[in-house]
Amino acid sequence: MGTDPRRAPASFWTRIGLVQQNWTDHPKWRVKDQLGWIRSIQLTADDNVSTVEEVLECVPFIILSSLAAAPLGIAAACAARGMYSLMVTLLPIMALVATSGAFFPVVALPRWVQLIHLALPTYWSGHLTRWALVGDPSWEIGGAFRPKAALTVLVTWTVVGLRLLAPTLVRRSFRRESIGNLARMQSATRSQTGM
């Protein structure tokens, strides 16, 4: 490739982007060389590269976040009666995730949206991850990290959601359903998805 990525002009980066899409078209470029260049670019582009140990420290946060968000998914599943209604019920969940601070700062959103996120596990999951890996609280509501509050909200969602909310929703959702009706819904869902 002939250019050091640390001193490369903008035209080099444009060329790299094109090459990544069609590397097989160029006979001189080997996959091994490309992967080496990509790795050197990633390591030199940002000095705050997370180590394997830092990422592994986040595994308990990932597990807790998954458990805390499970009641939201169970609520969406209980509200759905088919594939299309499931897609509609997942839209609010996708909106929550999109505005939770994973893609842009929550502080850029209106105050009422920030207040909603303070009660939900989607914001606090990202909060813990940013606390563990990034260390810059500029994206956080209030401008500071609060790991104890995050753990409290996530544990509360896990315990209350999985012990009280989820069983109640499942019982209420299926109390009037017969086995035959459930089989028809399952068949309809399979035909809608092409299974």
Tell me the per-residue pLDDT of 142-186, one tens digit each, with 9 for 90 and over: 888 999 999 999 999 999 999 998 888 888 887 777 778 778 878
pLDDT for residue 163: 92
Query: Quick one: pLDDT band at residue 38, thresholds 50, 70, 90?
Result: low
**DSSP characters over 1-64:** ----GGG--HHHHHHHHHHHH-GGG-TT--HHHHHHHHHHHHHHH-S-PPPHHHHHHTHHHHHH
Whether 103 and 133 share a structural domain: yes
Instruction: Give 60-104 pLDDT, tens digit per residue.
Output: 999 999 999 999 888 888 887 767 788 888 888 888 888 888 888
Per-residue pLDDT averaged across 41-46, rounded? 50
Q: How far is CA 136 from the centre of its chain?
A: 19
Same domain for 16 and 101?
no
pLDDT at residue 45 tops 50:
no
Whole-angstrom distance, CA of residue 72 vs CA of residue 154: 12
Number of domains in the chain: 2
d(CA 123, CA 64) in angstroms, rounded, equals 13
How many CB atoms neighbour CB 43 within 10 A? 12
Check if the beta carbon of residue 122 is closer than 8 Å to that of residue 69: yes
Look at residue 67 in the predicted model and tell me its pLDDT.
94
**Are residues 32 and 125 both part of a single domain?**
no
pLDDT 10s digits, 4-36: 666 666 566 555 554 444 444 455 556 566 656
pTM of structure = 0.64
Q: Are residues 33 and 96 in the same domain?
A: no
Range of the domain at 13: 5-45
Same domain, 145 and 172: yes
Distance, C-alpha 109 to centroid of its chain: 19
62 and 29, same domain (yes or no): no
Whether residue 156 sits in one domain with residue 111: yes
Residue with tokens 């609520």: 75
Residues 101 and 187 in one domain: yes
Residue 90 sits in the same domain as residue 28:
no
**Statement to judge: residues 90 and 24 lie in one domain:** no
| pLDDT computed for residue 159 by the predictor | 94
Tell me which residue has tokens 């299926």: 174
| 75 and 157 housed in the same domain | yes
CA distance 169 to 176: 13
Residues 141 and 185 in one domain: yes
